[in-house]
Chains A and B, each alone.
Chain A
Amino acid sequence: MVKVGSNIRAASLAVGFLVVLSPAAWAVNSLGSSASAGHPPHDLEVADVAGWTRHATTEHFLLIVSIRPGEEMYTAEEIADQHPLSGEEIITGSGVPVGEDIRHVEVHVYGLATGGLLETEEPVITVVNRSTGESSKLDPVLMEDIAIGSPDRHFGNNVHIPANSDLSIEVSVNGEKATVDGHLD
């Protein structure tokens, strides 16, 4: 039979050992937490910023083709109802909802002769994913940025494009075609 006093002494030794070593354990844990301090301070993903803006010209048009992360597209009623501070206001057409791998492709059409924005020349926008070989033709929507307003009138829509894709966006305005290539991160 083990003596009670001996058990108490052994327990005291164990507690003392733990008490003595707990600061060391805490210190090692602190080292670990310090070592983990190399991560980016933001919660942005590549998909949140992936995109580009490119320039193309045809005989009569200057095309500014942009691809950005998917943007909410609101109708006038929705804007009146929800009062969003960002996104696109649909002038004509219907927008594709935002979702996974949804990108916002937009084309600003300017006339080379005047340098002005053309709202009436509706382009035909085709997105070719060279990485996958898929091709999708956008249902062009005339829209403008809610914050900028009419100076930002452009055509485009949300479209599904996986990340890390090599793209070709073909724009045809009034029969004049231009293609911009780029890599989507």
Chain B
Amino acid sequence: MAIWTEHRSLERRARDLSVGHKLFYAFATLTLVFGLAVACLLLAIDQLGDANSRIVDEAGPRAVAAADLRFAAAGVRAAQDAYVLDDGSSRATFDQALVRFDRTLDELRVSTHGPVEEALINRIATSYQAFRDTDRLIWDATRSMQRTVARNLSSGPERLVFESLSEDASLLADLAEQDRDAAIADFERTSSNTFRMGIALGLTAIGLMIGATLIITRLIRDPLRRVQDAAERAADGDLDAEAQVNGDDETGRLAAAFNRMLSTLRLREEMLRNDHRRQETESMVHRALEMSDDEQSALDVVGRTMLEVLPHRSCELLIADNSKANLEQAVVSGPHPDGPGCPVASPFACVAVRSGSAVSFPSSASLDACPHLRGRGPDEISALCVPVTFMGRAMGVIHAVGAPDKVPTANEIDLVSMLAARAGARIGMLRTMVRTSVQASTDSLTGLINRRTFQTRIRSMRRSNTEFTLVMADIDHFKRLNDTHGHEMGDRALQTFCDVAKNCMRHNDLLARWGGEEFAFAFAGLQPAAACSALDRIRLELAGRLSTSDLPGFTVSYGLVAAGRCGSLEEAIRRADDALYEAKAKGRDCSVIADEADDDTDQPYVSSIRMAERAEPREEGVLAGLSQFDDPLDI
């Protein structure tokens, strides 16, 4: 286990080395291997040289010298036999043979090593000395002509000594020859070993180089290839293709940087996706809100959007009423049917509205949580509050709650903020449009629809073939009332008449201020006679109201026409106006039906109820022009 741990440690340290260090160590290893191989080869070559030297300088010459010694000994013996057996010969040849033997023996003494060889040479030397000593006896006998003695000495002791010398010389020659053969064999073995060692070292060096190459390749190429694979996958769109990080070298740091780059790209991609989704959602919300032509439709869009953006959260839109003082729950979404139920009463009691931006609360139990989150129930909640504004003015808040410590993401907050902005803009604009439309279609003093709106609506009634009676009404002597009691009193008279008339009308009847003190009625589904009855009730109600107020008494004259009997709206108006003129002419405070007037009868239909007998006679004529709003005359 310790070895294994050490191995893992070495492997980890090798991985952590920089590429430069890896290359350095690889080349250092190869250089070391090469150096060792060269050293071994040099050593082998040196040994080969030594072996060769042993042959050339030692064993070879020694073998030659030993062989020479043997031949020299034979030569000595032969020369001795020659001068012993041949009376006339001299010892010159023998002496030369002795010199040769001495020289050869000296050479051997110098070149010979080893105790056995030295012992042999000693034996040869002593035998040679004995030979020389005996030879003197032989020579003496020869010179004294004792030839038999000389021959006996030669064949006896001299032969004995010579044979001993010759045997030793032969043995020495054999040993020298063996030594030479051994040196040659040693040289051949060394040569063979050198060759094999060269092969072995070469194989070892190649193996080590291959191993070092594989290792360095594995340590450098493999991490690069992993980064390359990851980069190619990333280039193909797989941003999750992270490269494996092994070690702390350049490639490891490259892989880590690549992974960080991928992480950044993923983040950017996620941001782009969120932006795209947000833009799509914003575009959809925009289109949906643009198609909402009333506030309820816009609120429905807001509700559905809240459900889509925060599907698991209970959401609500609290929006201010026209007074802008009270917040009311306008729409809810999410799992709870009643919504979060924020108890905030007014826009400016809301923290988010006051801050003017989205506010999130991780926990309702937190010290800095919105006070309106407390007391919602036993469980903690998290909350998001986004103010809804229009033209910089607060008009509500989108409120969402969820599990504690799970606030919406930044993207969700962005979407809700977008929704709040869009909803505020749309709802605010719708309210403005409604207000503008009301202002354009109604009379600011009386609250009645104006003349144009009235015309539009009765045109619609005519298009739908709805039978109705058109009535033109005018307050009698209104100019005098103004002049006598002031315009304020006049305005109050107008408002009182309108109030009374509205109270006496059905919901589908129309009443408009035509201009000045002149009004127009449209009684749907009523014939003029029935409409006269309705007008009589108005007349009675007005009289009753005036009797209990501080207003001066006044009456109203009416001209009626069955609109269905007229060719056009303008004709109907003109005929009703003519009928009104007739009513004025007949003493005011009465109703005249145009049909009777158009029949050229002497007595048009006149309502029998005259509540304002005190009304003064007509002083001025009725202005019946359709284009005139204010009647300059008091009729």
Contact = CB atoms under 8 A, between A and B. Distances in A.
Interface of A: 2, 6-7, 10, 16-17, 19-21, 23-24, 26-28, 30-31, 33-35, 37-38, 40-42, 44-46, 48-55, 57, 62, 64, 66, 108, 110, 112-117, 151-152, 182-183, 185
A182 B54 CA distance: 32
Nearest to B214: A16
B186 to A, nearest CB: 4
7 contacts: A31-B44, A34-B47, A44-B116, A48-B116, A54-B126, A64-B160, A151-B156
A45 B116 CA distance: 6
A42 to B, nearest CB: 6
B196 A115 contact: no
B47 A35 contact: yes
Interface in B358-388: none
Interface of B: 1, 4, 7, 36, 40, 43-44, 47, 51, 54, 114-116, 118-120, 122-123, 126-127, 129-130, 133-134, 137, 141, 148-154, 156-157, 160-161, 164-165, 168, 171, 175, 178-179, 181-182, 185-186, 189-190, 193-194, 196-197, 199-201, 203-204, 207-208, 211
Given A46-B115, A108-B157, 6 more contacts: A50-B119, A53-B130, A53-B161, A64-B130, A108-B156, A114-B148
B14 to A, nearest CB: 12
Given A30-B193, A37-B186, A42-B175, A183 B161 contact: no
Contacts, number: 159
B122 A185 contact: yes
A26 B157 contact: no
A20 B208 contact: yes
Contacts of B115: 46, 185
Contacts of B207: 19-20, 23
Contacts of B36: 24
Contact of A40 (B114, B153, B193, B199): B114
Nearest to B150: A115
A166 B216 CA distance: 72
Contacts of A33: 189, 193
Nearest to A51: B123
B179 A34 contact: no
B137 A112 contact: yes
A34 B160 contact: no
Contacts of B130: 53-55, 64
A38 B148 contact: no
B114 to A, nearest CB: 6
B201 A55 contact: no
A55 B181 CA distance: 36
Contacts of B151: 115
Nearest to A23: B200
A21 B346 CA distance: 90
A42 B126 contact: no
A46 B116 contact: yes
Contact of B43 (A26, A31, A37, A151): A31
Across chains A and B, which 3 residue pairs bring their CB atoms closest together, nearest first? A115-B152, A41-B182, A23-B200
Contacts of A52: 122-123, 126-127
B595 to A, nearest CB: 111
Given A44-B116, A55-B130, A23 B122 contact: no
Contact of A108 (B47, B160, B200, B211): B160
A31 B171 contact: no
Contacts of B51: 34, 37
Contact of A24 (B129, B154, B204): B204
A90 B456 CA distance: 174
A34 B200 contact: no
A33 to B, nearest CB: 7
A31 B40 contact: yes
B129 A54 contact: yes
A19 B207 CA distance: 9
Contacts of B208: 20
Contacts of B168: 49
Given A40-B114, A40-B116, A53-B130, A115 B189 contact: no
A30 B197 contact: yes
Nearest to B207: A20
Contacts of A40: 114, 116, 175, 179, 182
A183 B122 contact: yes
A42 B179 CA distance: 8
Contact of B44 (A21, A34, A151): A34
Contact of B178 (A16, A24, A35, A42): A42
Contacts of B119: 46, 49-51, 185
A151 B175 CA distance: 29
B520 to A, nearest CB: 99
Given A31-B40, A31-B43, A34-B47, A10 B120 contact: no
A114 B153 CA distance: 8
Contacts of A49: 116, 119-120, 123, 168, 171
Contacts of A37: 51, 182, 185-186, 189-190
A185 B203 CA distance: 51
Contacts of A117: 156
Contacts of B129: 54-55
B545 to A, nearest CB: 102
Nearest to B178: A41
Nearest to B172: A49
A53 B164 contact: yes
Contacts of A115: 137, 141, 148-154, 156-157
Given A42-B116, A49-B119, A49-B171, A27 B126 contact: no
Contacts of B171: 49
Nearest to A43: B116
Nearest to B179: A41
Contacts of B185: 37
B160 A152 contact: yes
A66 B399 CA distance: 135
A2 B3 CA distance: 12
B382 to A, nearest CB: 44
A38 B126 contact: no
B116 A27 contact: no
A41 B54 CA distance: 13
Of listed A34, A38, A45, residue having the most chain B CB within 10 A = A34
A24 B197 CA distance: 8
Nearest to B47: A34
A24 B161 contact: no
A16 B175 contact: no
Nearest to A33: B193
Contact of B137 (A28, A62, A151): A62
Given A37-B51, A49-B116, A66 B164 contact: yes
Of listed A31, A38, A108, residue having the most chain B CB within 10 A = A31
B162 to A, nearest CB: 10
B179 A10 contact: no
Given A40-B114, A41-B182, A24 B200 contact: yes
A53 B126 contact: yes
Contact of B196 (A19, A30, A108): A30
Contacts of A55: 129-130, 133-134, 157, 161
Contacts of A66: 164
A37 B203 CA distance: 26
A33 B200 CA distance: 15
B126 to A, nearest CB: 4
A45 B207 CA distance: 47
